Amino acid sequence: MDFEQADALNQAIRLLSLRHRARAAALLAPLGLYPGQEALLLELDRTGPRIQAELSEALGCEPPSVTLMTRKLEASGHIRRKPAPSDRRASIVELTDSGRALADQVKQLWCALAEETVTGLPAETVADLPGILNTLTSNVDTRTPRHAHARRPGPGKPTRR
């Protein structure tokens, strides 16, 4: 890949990331949420109560970020934290009724944002996007060894050797 192609690709990814986050922030603000908090709510909605350390891993966030998010969401009544029975130093985080209702609102908002984001793309491209984007994410994930995701095939694609 030459520099012009690399620059165009990197700029497109950077701008998409910035604009998507800004759009998400604008949509989340009326719900009283900041970017990142919706991911925590949706994770708890998907999995049920979790230990904060597990949330940190699942969200790809540093533990202090999850601690800050949980404090804010607890203060607003959307989650509750309680000591883990197996380890009193760990906190189990769970949604309250208010948090479940808010997660439902976030799901609707997330559907609208996704539809807005892919407007004008063919259905086949939209269906392929999660796999493509997950591969791109894996390619730059600093938490995994480089060789663990090298040459990973996309969805429905055969592995090349």
CATH number of the domain enclosing 106: 1.10.10.10
DSSP assignment letter at 87: E
Instruction: State the average pLDDT over residues 74-90.
Output: 90
Residue 87: pLDDT band (50, 70, 90) is confident
State the pLDDT at residue 146.
57
User: Residue with structure tokens 């699942």?
Assistant: 58
Q: Tokens representing 135?
A: 């591969």
| Residue 76 located in a structural domain | yes
Residues 124 and 129: their CA atoms lie apart, in Å, by: 9
What domain range includes position 42?
Answer: 24-138
At 19-57, the pLDDT tens digits run: 999 999 999 999 999 999 999 999 999 999 999 989 999
Q: Tokens representing 142?
A: 């600093």
| Residue 86 located in a structural domain | yes
| Residue 108 located in a structural domain | yes
Residues 103 and 105: their CA atoms lie apart, in Å, by: 5
pTM: 0.80
